[in-house]
Each structure stands twice: as C-alpha cells, then as structure tokens.
C-alpha cells in the first residue's frame, strides 16, 4: 500500500519495478551524446508517414511496442497505459495507441507527462490495482513547431533562450520484480506561476515549479541533496537550470553538485545549435528510458530524483497575454529496495 507523507508525497512500500523500457528518437537526437543508449534512431523523421502528426503517433507506438517486446510482454498482459503528448487533444497518443487494445488513461502534463505517467503507473502497481502498467509519451520537433510556433520553412530567428523540441518518444512497463530500477516514492507537483510570459523562455517559466516540487519532496522525505547521486530535471535547459539552482539556494538547498537536466543531456548544446537546450515531452522521456534507467539498472546510479517539468500554456492563452503556469512531478528511483 502506498502511504501519503507530508504535503504531496506517496511512499510506495512494495517498490514497484521498471520491468522494461524503450526510447526511439529522430536524427538530430541520434547525433547527440546519448546516441548509443537509444533503441532506435530514425534518420527519416517522417517515419515514412504523410503528416508530422502521423510521424509522432508512429514514434510513440514504436516506443511502446519496443518496450513490450524487450520485456517479452503481450499487450493483453498490460492492465493500463498512462500516456499523453503535446499536441492538441493528445492526438499522438490517441492515434498512436488506438490499435493496441490496452486500457488507456490520457494525460496532459505537457513535458512533465513521463513523470506523471510513471507516478500513476507505479501507484497502481503498488496498490495491487494492476499487475503491469505502462507509461508513454512523445514529442516531435516538426509537429510541435507547426502547432506552437511558425512553419518549418519560415526563415525566422530563434531567441537565445528558446529550446529545441525533441523528436523522441519513451515508454516503460511497471510491475513487481526483484530487479532494479525501483520506484521508491512519487511527489505530485502543484501548478506554479511566477509571471513569465515569454513563450521562448520555457526554462525560466518552469524553474519555479521544479524548485517547488524538489523542496516539497526533500521536506516530506526528510532528506537533502547529499542523499542523491543525481537530481535530474526534465527540460529546463541552460537558463532554467541556472534559475532552479538559484531559487533553491534562496531556501538554503544547494543541488548544484548533483543536478543535471535532460534538456542539456540530450544534445551537445553548443555544437548542435539548440540554443538553451532540448525540450518537449519526448526529451525527458527518452533520456529516462535510455541512459538514466540503464545507469540505475547497472547500479552506477543508486538514488535518483527524476523531475519532469511541464509548461501548461496554450497558443491561445499565450496570444491573450497570459503568463505561463507550470508543473513538475517527481519520481524517486532507486537501485536498492530500502
């Protein structure tokens, strides 16, 4: 049974295990520093489909299929899947997963979807509501650009604080097993908004949400940054990471020694010209479902806080001059069951 402690933390006392995971990425991500950890790299980012939306759907389906295949699971064995993405009405998940016949809960957490999905999937398993659950999400540079920004061929300029939406998808299976990685606890985020309105500076918009959730979890669990090998945020990028560290320092919490960010890890930020780093639901999902889970599985990392951050605005709210509300969900991953 999961137990609620503090403000918003659930301790999962059976330590649900991540049984299998897979990540698939596009060409640019495949040229980045994590290339060898991905299950598939699609040099043709259309994946042979006619529209970008179809390409993204295909990619999410690929990630789910590969996670099932790697663990040797049939779709019938999966009790529930928690999935979502960035496109309006989460069409990548709905179209990508419609043929799988797995009971489906759709999520919208923007780029925090993977942490949100993994949280719910783990809680379901921990409380014996399901034998096996899955979480999945995706993002695609081209489908995100046409929804949130400008046509791809338009010769506009990106500001230095803008982030590059990752063409990537990640998926994982949660169940009960004696094999790491384990989910020790989850901490649900609260919607945080410190008034940032610049849609090209998502890192700055999301950093307060991440700071809030990390602080809450450390308080709820009575731990400090020194208790973790890695505190990894979703996609704050260069600007957001710096702000996160500053924000937490104001509260006397120094995570600078153990912090990293998926938006900085997915790309070689300078050489690949991604300005302030990567973003998109697929960014943290693909880094988690490749490098991070592998390192925890191998015991190279033993105690990891994974905090995926999401910006919860829409193009309409942005055009109406609203600020950007953000959220961050936290999952505590461990190598040992203690």
Partner 1 sequence: MKLTPAEYSEMAKKASPGTKSYKTIPIAFLIGGLICMAGEGLINLYQYLGMDQETAGAVTSVTLIFLAALLTGLDLYNSIARFAGAGTLVPITGFSNGVVSPALEFKSEGLVLGLGAKLFVIAGPVIVYGISASIVYGLILYLFKLY
Q: How far is the CB of 206 from partner 1 (least distance, A)?
A: 11
Q: What is residue 76's DSSP assignment?
A: G
- Whether the Cβ atoms of residue 247 and residue 253 lie closer than 8 Å to each other: no
Residue with smaller CB distance to partner 1, 212 or 309: 212
Sequential DSSP letters for 267-330:
S-TTTTT-TT-EESHHHHHHHIIIIIHHHHHTTS--EEEEEEEEE---HHHHHTT----EEEEE
Report the site for partner 1 in 131-160 (rule: CB under 8 A). Answer: 146, 150-157, 159-160
- Whether the Cβ atoms of residue 92 and residue 171 lie closer than 8 Å to each other: no
Contacting partner 1 (CB under 8 A), which of 50, 72, 222, 320?
50
Residue with smaller CB distance to partner 1, 105 or 148: 148
Check binding of 129 to partner 1 (CB under 8 A): no
Report CA 68 to chain centroid distance, whole Å.
Answer: 19
Q: Which residues touch 256 (CB under 8 Å, ≥6 apart)?
A: 245, 249
Contacting partner 1 (CB under 8 A), which of 111, 243, 266, 333?
243
Check binding of 94 to partner 1 (CB under 8 A): no
Residue with smaller CB distance to partner 1, 245 or 293: 245
- Give me the residue label for tokens 């509260």: 251
Given the rule CB under 8 A, which of 117-125, 133-141, 192-200, 284-292 is the region that contacts partner 1? 192-200
Tell me how far apart the alpha carbons of residues 117 and 64 are, in angstroms, rounded to a whole number: 13
Check binding of 44 to partner 1 (CB under 8 A): no
How far is CA 143 from each of CA 46, 53, 139, rounded to the nearest angstrom? Answer: 10, 6, 8
Contacting partner 1 (CB under 8 A), which of 194, 225, 256, 297?
194
Tell me how far apart the alpha carbons of residues 233 and 200 are, in angstroms, rounded to a whole number: 19
Check binding of 211 to partner 1 (CB under 8 A): yes
Q: How far is the CB of 300 from partner 1 (least distance, A)?
A: 31
- Whether the Cβ atoms of residue 282 and residue 140 lie closer than 8 Å to each other: yes
Q: How far is the CB of 256 from partner 1 (least distance, A)?
A: 14
How far is CA 58 from each of CA 12, 62, 111, rounded to the nearest angstrom? Answer: 33, 6, 19
Site string (51-80) toward partner 1, x via CB under 8 A: xx----------------------------
Q: How far is the CB of 248 from partner 1 (least distance, A)?
A: 8
Closest CA to 168 of 234, 118, 231, 230: 234
Residue with smaller CB distance to partner 1, 93 or 201: 201
- Whether the Cβ atoms of residue 4 and residue 10 lie closer than 8 Å to each other: yes
Q: How far is the CB of 106 from partner 1 (least distance, A)?
A: 23
Given the rule CB under 8 A, which of 6-14, 73-81, 133-141, 207-215 is the region that contacts partner 1? 207-215
Check binding of 190 to partner 1 (CB under 8 A): no
Pairing status of strand 259-261 against strand 168-175: unpaired
Residue with smaller CB distance to partner 1, 152 or 300: 152
Residues near partner 1 (CB under 8 A) are 50-52, 146, 150-157, 159-161, 194-196, 201, 204, 208, 211-212, 215, 239, 242-243, 246-247, 250-251, 273, 276, 323
């Amino acid at each position: 049974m999961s137990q609620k402690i503090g403000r918003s933390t659930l301790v999962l006392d059976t330590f649900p295990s991540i049984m299998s995971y897979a990540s698939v990425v596009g060409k640019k991500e495949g040229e980045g520093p994590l290339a060898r950890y991905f299950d598939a790299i699609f040099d043709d980012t259309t994946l042979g489909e006619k529209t970008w939306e179809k390409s993204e759907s295909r990619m999410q389906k690929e990630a789910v299929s590969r996670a099932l295949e790697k663990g040797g699971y049939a779709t019938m064995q999966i009790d529930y899947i928690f999935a979502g993405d960035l496109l309006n009405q989460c069409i990548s998940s709905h179209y990508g997963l419609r043929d799988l016949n797995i009971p489906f809960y759709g999520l919208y957490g923007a780029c925090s979807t993977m942490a949100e999905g993994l949280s719910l999937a783990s809680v379901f398993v921990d409380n014996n509501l399901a034998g096996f659950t899955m979480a999945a999400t995706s993002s695609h540079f081209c489908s995100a650009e046409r929804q949130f920004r400008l046509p791809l061929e338009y010769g506009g300029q990106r500001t230095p604080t803008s982030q590059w939406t990752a063409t990537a998808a990640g998926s994982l299976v949660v169940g009960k097993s004696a094999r790491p990685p384990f989910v020790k606890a989850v901490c649900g985020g609260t919607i945080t908004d410190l008034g940032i309105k610049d849609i090209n500076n998502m890192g700055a918009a999301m950093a307060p949400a991440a700071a809030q959730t990390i602080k809450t979890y450390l308080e709820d669990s009575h731990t400090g940054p020194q208790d973790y090998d890695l505190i990894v945020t979703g996609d704050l990028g260069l600007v957001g990471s710096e702000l996160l560290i500053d924000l937490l320092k104001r509260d006397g919490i120094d995570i600078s020694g153990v912090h990293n960010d998926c938006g900085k890890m997915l790309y070689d930020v300078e050489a690949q010209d991604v300005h302030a780093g990567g973003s998109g639901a697929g960014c943290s999902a693909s880094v988690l479902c490749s490098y991070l889970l592998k390192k925890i599985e191998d015991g190279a990392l033993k105690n990891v806080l994974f905090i995926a951050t999401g910006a919860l605005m829409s193009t309409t709210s942005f055009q109406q001059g609203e600020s950007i509300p953000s959220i961050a969900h936290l999952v505590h991953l461990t190598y040992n069951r203690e």
